[in-house]
Each structure stands twice: as C-alpha cells, then as structure tokens.
Structure 1
Amino acid sequence: MTEQIIQQIINAWLAQNKTVTDFFTKYGDEAYLKEVAPGRNRPIYLLGHLIASNDGMLPLFGLGEKLFPQYEAIFTKSPDKTVADIPSIATLKNDWEKLNNTLQDHFSKMTTADWLSRHSAVSDEDFAKEPLRNKLNVLIGRTNHQSYHRGQINLLNA
C-alpha cells in the first residue's frame, strides 16, 4: 500500500512536469519572453526557476551534485529581468528535459525506505523528532511548487 501511495505522488510530479513541458512547446520561443501579466515574471524566467528548484533535489536526496548550479544565482536569488544574460529558451527546454530524465531515473530506483528517509537538510536528531521531514515530503512540496508556477505561466496571453 505504501508503495502505491509513493507511486501516485511520483505520478503527480511527472504529470506536473508534462504540463510544464507541454506549455513550452505551445508557442514560438519569442512568446516566452513576454511577462505573463504586467509587472510579472516571464515564462522563460519561471522555467529557469523550476529547473533551479528541482535541480536542488539531487543533492538534497543524496543523488549527486546539481546539474545546473549556475541557475541558482540567476533564477532563485535574483528577480526576473535583473540578470541581463540568461540562457535561451532552447537551452532551458533542453536542460528541463535532461533534469527531468535524470530525476525520473533516480526516482525509479528509490525504494520505499529511501523515500521515507531523511533528506540532507534535516539532521538525524530533528528527523527523529519529525519523521515526516523526509524525501517524499520534499517531492510533494516540489510538485505543489510546479503547480503554482504552472498556474502563473498559463496567464500568458501569447
């Protein structure tokens, strides 16, 4: 039963990834440079932000180093339109696909015990007090995070 629940959560994460991917194949590349609404982020920035955020799961889960560590400064620590030189939409689409394939490959090999174990940002002592601070909980949070930003990008009137 626990395995089924974990697979449902992974499937929800995959579905969010597919929806984001589908959005970034919907329009010509220039459309993703427009703000989703006046004074708001551009889809190109939001895609970079999602890559930077999801890339953080690799070290957080003990699965290796980030694939795109340079994106943190551009898409997490800096607001949209404050960094002049950002990767192209084509580069971001490729990186999104590479990251998702890498994560999906790792996730398919993780056991129930792996999912319910602590992530690297929580100490053994804190995890003993709060065992819900596990990798599965992080994936739930990242799935919700993607859903939130997917809602934003859907505002684009291309």
Structure 2
Amino acid sequence: MAVDAWDTQNSRLSKMLETLSDEQLAAETAPGRNSGTYLLGHSTAVNDALLPLLGFGERLYPELEDVFLKNPENSGLEKPSLAELKNYWDKVNSELAGHIAKMKPEDWFQRHNSVSEEDFAKEPHRNKLNILINRANHQSYHLGQIAYLKSR
C-alpha cells in the first residue's frame, strides 16, 4: 500500500511536469514562493537522497543537494537547466523504482541508513517504510504547489 502511494505521487508529479510548459514551470507557484523549476530540482534532490538512505547505492546527482536542499531558490547558485532537471527526475525515479521493486515486505521494516543500530533498537519505527511514507507525503505537498502553475 505504501509503495502504491509512492508510485502514485511519483506518477502524478511526472504527468504534471509533462502538461506544464517551460514558461509555466519557471513561474512562482505564488508571489514570493518557489518556482516550479526549483520545486522540480528540490523533489529530484530529495528522491536522489533516498538511494543511500535506503541502502540502494550512492546518489546519482549529489551536486543537487547544495543547490536545492541546503539553499533557497534565490541563493545565486548555478542551477541545471529545466531540460537537465527533467532528465535527472526521470533517471532518479527509474533507479529508485528498480530497487523498490526488488524489496520484500520484511525489508521495509529494517532500519534506514541515517539511524544507528542502537537507536533503531529503541525506536524501530525509524525504518525504511516510514521514510517512504514520509517522502510520498512530501512529494504530494509539492505536487499541490506545482498544480497552481496550471492556471498560468
């Protein structure tokens, strides 16, 4: 069920990105808020960070962390083009989907890589399933923001 929710949010965001023009994505979602392009970069960086967090390997695009996770849109840092970000989004999600498809139900209840074995013994809810649910909700939030761009 959680994997289905993750897949649904990924698919909805991907479809939304296909329906919006480059100009729409460049616009702020609301006055003084992030642009759709920045939110795409942010969402890609968050998903890319899942690879090491869930034990699937290293990030594909570690350079996105500084630009889209540690700094605001107006930081002045150089950002990849929209075309590059769309490509990164597709590649990261394809990589994640391949790994997620191989997981067994019991794998989801193992600790993720940001929690020590000692802490996990005390807090078993800090598992891979909890991370996936959290990230699906996070993606849903940003999908809602990007949806505002459809009317522009």
TM-score norm. by structure 1 comes to 0.92
User: Matched residues in 2 for 1:90 and 1:14: separation?
Assistant: 22
User: Which residue pairs with 2:27 in the alignment?
Assistant: 34
CA RMSD of aligned residues (A): 1.0
Q: Displacement, 1:85?
A: 2.3
Runs of 4+ in 1 over 4 A off after TM superposition: none
User: Matched residues in 1 for 2:10 and 2:137: separation?
Assistant: 11
Taking every aligned residue pair, what percent have the same amino acid on both sides?
A: 50
User: Which residue pairs with 1:102 in the alignment?
Assistant: 95
User: Which residue pairs with 1:43 in the alignment?
Assistant: 36
TM-score norm. by structure 2 comes to 0.95
3-state SS of paired residue (1:86): coil
**Higher relative helix content:** 2
Structure 1, unaligned stretches of length 5 or more? 1-7
The answer (yes or no) to whether the contact 1:74–1:86 under 8 Å persists in 2 is: yes
- The correspondence for 2:56, drawn from 44, 63, 85, is 63
* Paired amino acid for 1:149: H
Q: Give the stretch that moved more between structures: 76-85 or 134-143.
A: 76-85
User: Which residue pairs with 1:15 in the alignment?
Assistant: 8
The answer (yes or no) to whether the contact 1:74–1:83 under 8 Å persists in 2 is: no
Q: Displacement, 1:28?
A: 1.8
3-state SS of paired residue (1:24): helix
- CA shift digits 1:79-108 (9 cap, x unpaired): 012235211111111111111110000001
